[in-house]
Amino acid sequence: MNILVVGGAGYIGSHMIKKLTLEGNSVVILDNLSTGFRDAVKYGRFIEGDIADSKLLSEIFSSNKFDSVMHFASYIEVGESVSDPSKYYINNFSNTLNLLDAMVAHGVNNFIFSSTAAIFGEPEYSPIDEKHVRAAVNPYGESKLMVENALKAYEKAYGLRSICLRYFNAAGADPDLEVGERHDPESHLIPLVLQAASGRRDSIAVFGQNYNTPDGSCVRDYIHVDDLCTAHIDALNYVLSELGSKQFNLGNGNGFSVLEVIDVARRVTGRNIKIKDADQREGDPAVLVADSALAKQELNWEPRYDSLETIIEHAWCWEQKHWS
């Protein structure tokens, strides 16, 4: 197959283009490098550009016959989305419509969308399944939810089929260590903890220890980035089979608290990791855990790396290789 991967120079996208290529697909990568890295693109044909550029999109679609598009080119920082909502609504929603319009104009009818658990807002129950009410509480989650809603309309009007994959907490690194997690600045818990282990930061902040959880810290569901990519392959096969559009929650179904993550990281690294107490962050739910039964049933997807130790081991090996 010939696949356009938008945002392929980013964390998940760079892993995705490797898996697609090794499975025999032809991959074209479009990325503006605003948050991604050119040297993370180890496979495929790279084009530097933005999905806001309608002329460029028309040129790309006119000169390639794509079977599907995978879209990872979103801004993802919740706090920034609150302080600068325009940036998120323009890129995550408006620019995505630009991409969808280019697909419709050139007859590309299969779309895999990188969505998020943030569309659910404050959870009413846990684990969260696909029937849970969607009530985003920040512009980041709202911008993703707006895309999901638009995709329903695009299917009805234009026949564009889509799969929305709602990640909980992507983590880990390519087991071969060709690519890994690199955000600037970093905001995800596991790489921040490992930066404290490697000495790149003095300590790790724990935002609140009085939640209604066993140890008082927030509980989250961590899914290995390689397992996410496998789910995208499964979703691609699903949508190409013309089975219609679907939305799936992706996680391991197991919750680990912030303090548990730090303890596991101490065991994996053999390093002392200092904790700094910090105030709770507004909008941080106590527990966010996925119910991925539907993805397992309909996509025949099964996570391989469902051990938190393995996820952290891979991330630690990447931390040591990339920063040592």
pLDDT digits (tens, 9 = 90+) for 149-195: 999 999 999 999 999 999 999 999 999 999 999 988 888 999 999 99
Lowest-confidence region among 62-76, 177-191, 275-289: 275-289
pLDDT at residue 324 is higher than 70: no
Please tell me the predicted confidence (pLDDT) of residue 77. Answer: 92
Residue corresponding to tokens 């029937």 = 131
- Answer yes or no: are the C-beta atoms of 217 and 208 closer than 8 Å: yes
Residue corresponding to tokens 């071969």 = 176
Alpha-carbon dihedral sign for residues 13, 16, 20, 21: positive
Instruction: Domain 172-221+253-323: give its CATH architecture.
Output: Alpha-Beta Complex (3.90)
User: What residues contact 275, with CB distance under 8 A and at least 6 apart?
Assistant: 203, 204, 205, 206, 259, 262
State pLDDT tens for residues 232-274.
999 999 999 988 899 999 999 999 999 999 999 999 999 999 9
Q: For 159-287, where are the alpha helices, taking DSSP H only?
A: 189-198, 225-240, 258-269
How far apart, in Å, are the Cα atoms of 56 and each of 31, 50, 53, 94, 306? 12, 8, 5, 16, 40
| Domains of the chain, residue spans | 2-170+222-250, 172-221+253-323
How far apart, in Å, are the Cα atoms of 72 and each of 76, 106, 136? 10, 20, 19
Cα–Cα distance for residue pair 193/199, rounded to 1 Å: 10
User: What residues contact 34, with CB distance under 8 A and at least 6 apart?
Assistant: none
Residues marked active site are found at: 140
Cα–Cα distance for residue pair 323/154, rounded to 1 Å: 44
CATH of domain 2-170+222-250: 3.40.50.720
